Chains A and B, each alone.
Chain A
Amino acid sequence: MDSIINGFIGAGKLILTINPELFHIILLSVQVSGSALVIAALLGLPLGAALAWGRVPLRGLVISLMNTGMGLPPVVAGLFLYLFLSRSGPLGDLGLLYTPTAMVIVQTILALPIVVSLSHAAIVKVDPVIRQAAITLGATPLQEVLTVIREARYGIMAGVMAGLGRVMAEVGAVIIVGGNIAGYTRVMTTTIALETDKGDFELAIALGIILLLISFGINVGLRFFQRAGRVRSGIILWD
């Protein structure tokens, strides 16, 4: 019990004294996950919209793949990317293994199916009369698409937030392709795993608290977008 109490006291000191190691790890985590999320959103939103409009070859297969990808175990994603990036792999010459770039790639792979699937679902759920209204008021085809996407914005944002939640909490894939190198590829989740193994709980608990706060923030954001997406007539666009 003492070790837990002492761990929390030490963690509080690390947070309150703005420990440089702690904040470097937080910063790297935010950079890696933030970059992965931006890339996943840039690729995923247009793909989700295109799937909703049915203008993608092998649409059914792509939707199935994305839905399957939502449940992809992170360690499996990490394993395959490791095999591709390792010295003997097809992309070994790029020298990306054990770099933050490799961590961004694997987190993008994990976030992309969530962003695509949830964006697609949000756009498909927009009432067809919205599209008809846009057309009858003189919208061009592009304006029509943008209008429907705008109507689905809360569902799309919820998808992006869900993607962020997945990558921020992920540990298996980044430890495989990042290597957990101190000061270079060590992020919050991998540090918690390492410090727990070492029995040094102060830093682990401090990062755990920060991670919980971030997760709480993400969930508050998710809840906001879910509530805002409700159609007041009683039909729920997003829940």
Chain B
Amino acid sequence: MGLNLEVDRISKSYNGQAVLQECSFRFDSGRTYALQGPNGVGKSTFFRIAALLEPPDAGEVRYGDNGVALPHDLHLRRRITLLLPQTGVFNTSVFHNVAYGLKIRGRPAPEVEDRVNEVLGRVGLIHKRRQNGLDLSSGETKRLGLARALVIEPEVLLLDEPTANLDPKNAEIIEQIILNRKTAAKSTIVVVTHDLAQARRLGDYTLVMAHGQILPL
């Protein structure tokens, strides 16, 4: 069902420039939120804080009933996955790229094999499982990144511009994968997109980030 995520009056500044200003919002478990806003408004900063990769200057992040989430809390961090706009593809096969998240969690090899193949089938890359991940096209690389995130069954999925710079066909494939995940309601999903039509297609709710705050559209 996913975890609910609540940010409570979080603030963050870089070099004296306020990016987030007492930003508060509650993301309900199993729902999908499309987040919009111009570049540089703080969406990526919000994602890094929500993914527990860096602490806010002030305010709190809470997941489920776990109380205040501490930055770098590994146990909690492993229930959240942030998909960055740039997919850092490892110089190994597509299979091993996708298997990475399971291997570092110490999953047994048969389970890894089954789950990776299943996810590769879902994103349409099963026929390329033995190919080096660096040889994929940009659209396939995005799908690889999504597969790597999905295989670990995250309870919170943060997607930072998953269809940026993609041709319409690949963007549609990625959208469909996200919609399937949304329908399964296994994750709380927050997806950043600049495309309002896409935001409406993907999200149960459309939000906008402005002046360091998250607001319903």
Contacts and interface: CB of A to CB of B under 8 A. Distances in A.
Interface of A: 127, 129-140, 143, 147, 150-151, 231-233
B100 A137 contact: yes
B38 interface: no
Contacts of A135: 53
Nearest to B132: A232
Nearest to B138: A233
B52 to A, nearest CB: 10
B84 A129 contact: yes
Contact of A232 (B51, B83, B134): B134
Contacts of A127: 88
Given A129-B88, A130-B90, A151-B91, A136 B81 contact: yes
Interface string B60-77: 000000000000001001
A138 B74 contact: yes
Interface in B38-96: 51, 53, 74, 77-78, 81-84, 86-91
Nearest to A139: B104
A150 B100 CA distance: 12
B101 interface: yes
Contact of B51 (A131, A136, A231): A136
The 6 closest A-B pairs by CB, nearest first: A133-B88, A129-B88, A138-B78, A137-B101, A130-B88, A136-B82
Contacts of B104: 134, 137-140, 143
22 contacts: A127-B88, A129-B84, A129-B87, A130-B88, A131-B88, A132-B86, A132-B88, A133-B84, A133-B87, A133-B88, A134-B104, A136-B53, A136-B83, A136-B84, A137-B81, A137-B104, A137-B152, A138-B74, A138-B101, A138-B105, A140-B74, A150-B90
Interface string B118-136: 0000000000000010110
Nearest to B53: A135
Contact of B91 (A132, A134, A139, A231): A231
A52 B105 CA distance: 26
Contacts of B53: 135-136
Contacts of B12: none
Interface of B: 51, 53, 74, 77-78, 81-84, 86-91, 100-101, 104-105, 132, 134-135, 145, 148-149, 152
Contacts of B135: 232
A150 B92 CA distance: 10
B84 A132 contact: yes
B134 A233 contact: yes
A138 B90 contact: no
Contacts of B78: 138
A203 B100 CA distance: 53
B77 A138 contact: yes
B26 to A, nearest CB: 23
Specify which of A130, A131, A135, A138 lies most central, judged by the most chain B CB atoms within 10 Å of its CB: A138
Specify which of A131, A132, A137 lies most central, judged by the most chain B CB atoms within 10 Å of its CB: A137
B84 A137 contact: no
A231 B101 CA distance: 22
A31 to B, nearest CB: 34
A216 B145 CA distance: 41
Contacts of A132: 84, 86, 88
Contacts of A130: 88, 90
Contacts of B134: 231-233
Specify which of A131, A135, A136, A138 lies most central, judged by the most chain B CB atoms within 10 Å of its CB: A136
Contact of B86 (A129, A150, A231): A129
A231 B133 CA distance: 10
Nearest to A138: B78
Contacts of A133: 84, 87-90, 145, 148
B81 A147 contact: no
A147 B100 CA distance: 10
A131 to B, nearest CB: 7
Contacts of A232: 132, 134-135
Specify which of B89, B105, B152 lies most central, judged by the most chain A CB atoms within 10 Å of its CB: B89
